[in-house]
């Protein structure tokens, strides 16, 4: 079961207008159920609060669960994180090609599966509700600084044409289909998860966008 229910009227904050929305996914006895609430600020969000929220967003975006597939035009996904010992290119000489899904050589779907089956098998093929692929090259995060990622994420020309509300809705949509952001916070199989939770990440995105998407200095 998937549903959205409006639980509060819209509150306009500068350019950003977000309704308070409760989102739940899964049946009542589903242990993987995701409950998200868009906690719309009732007062203006300061630049300082926005930058603090950004620091937490960056901690997620730069974490191996996220950044390993947000790579540049080399099209080579990375392996990094505590379990790998050292940072290195994805094994098996994987190159996702210009297609970013590996169609030119070995498709990502050869080992990475589109499924909502729980990721509870150590070293098993990872599952998400979206077909596996590298993020668009414009979204390169691996090895990038906080300021660089912030500038990219706040630029509609490099973030998929999204304004502040669009970035918030992107997280909600990811939860609907149990895609990559959901997996990042609960990758299973003994993998280290991104810091925080899906709800905390959504809260931070709401605050950051409501503050006008401020970015740190280089």
Going from N- to C-terminal start, the domains of the chain cover 2-210
Q: How far is CA 213 from the centre of its chain?
A: 16
The token duo for 63 is 């974490």
**Residue 32 pLDDT:** 54
- CA–CA separation, 79 and 145 (whole Å): 18
What pLDDT does 129 receive?
96
Residue whose structure tokens are 């996914």: 25
Place of tokens 């929220």: 53
Q: pLDDT tens string for the chain (218 positions)? A: 333 322 222 333 333 333 444 444 443 334 356 789 999 999 999 999 999 999 999 999 999 999 999 999 999 999 887 777 788 999 989 999 999 999 999 999 999 999 999 898 888 889 999 999 999 999 999 999 999 999 999 999 999 999 999 999 999 999 999 999 999 999 998 889 999 999 999 999 999 999 999 999 97
Q: How many CA atoms lie within 13 A of 5 on its CB side?
A: 8
Q: Which pLDDT does position 35 carry in this prediction?
A: 85
Residue 178 · residue 116 · CB < 8 Å: yes
| pLDDT value of residue 125 | 87
d(CA 85, CA 207): 35
Say if CB 204 and CB 61 are below 8 A apart: no
Which pLDDT belongs to residue 27?
Answer: 35
C-alpha closest to that of 141 among 131, 153, 155, 132: 153
State how far the alpha carbon of 67 is from the alpha carbons of 70, 134, 137, 138, 149, in Å: 5, 10, 12, 13, 11
Helices 164-177 and 198-210 pack at an angle, to 10 degrees, of 170
Angle (nearest 5°) at CA 129 between 106 and 19: 135
Cα separation, 110 vs 159, in Å, equals: 28
């Amino acid at each position: 079961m998937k549903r959205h229910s409006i639980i509060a009227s819209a509150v306009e904050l500068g350019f950003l207008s977000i309704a308070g929305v409760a989102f739940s996914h899964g049946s009542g006895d589903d242990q993987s159920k995701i409950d998200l609430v868009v906690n719309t600020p009732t007062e203006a969000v300061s630049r300082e609060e926005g930058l603090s929220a950004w620091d937490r967003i960056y901690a997620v975006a730069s974490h191996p669960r996220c950044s390993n597939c947000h790579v540049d035009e080399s099209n080579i996904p990375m392996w990094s994180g505590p379990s790998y010992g050292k940072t290195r290119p994805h094994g098996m000489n994987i190159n996702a090609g210009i297609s970013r899904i590996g169609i030119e050589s070995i498709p990502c779907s050869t080992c990475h599966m589109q499924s909502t089956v729980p990721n509870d098998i150590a070293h098993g093929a990872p599952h998400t509700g979206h077909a596996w692929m590298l993020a668009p090259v414009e979204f390169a995060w691996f090895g990038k600084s906080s300021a660089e990622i912030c500038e990219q994420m706040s630029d509609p020309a490099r973030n998929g044409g999204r304004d502040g509300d669009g970035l918030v809705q992107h997280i909600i949509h990811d939860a609907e289909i149990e895609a990559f952001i959901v997996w990042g916070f609960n990758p299973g199989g003994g993998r280290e998860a991104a810091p925080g939770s899906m709800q905390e990440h959504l809260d931070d995105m709401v605050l950051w966008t409501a503050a006008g998407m401020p970015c740190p200095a280089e």
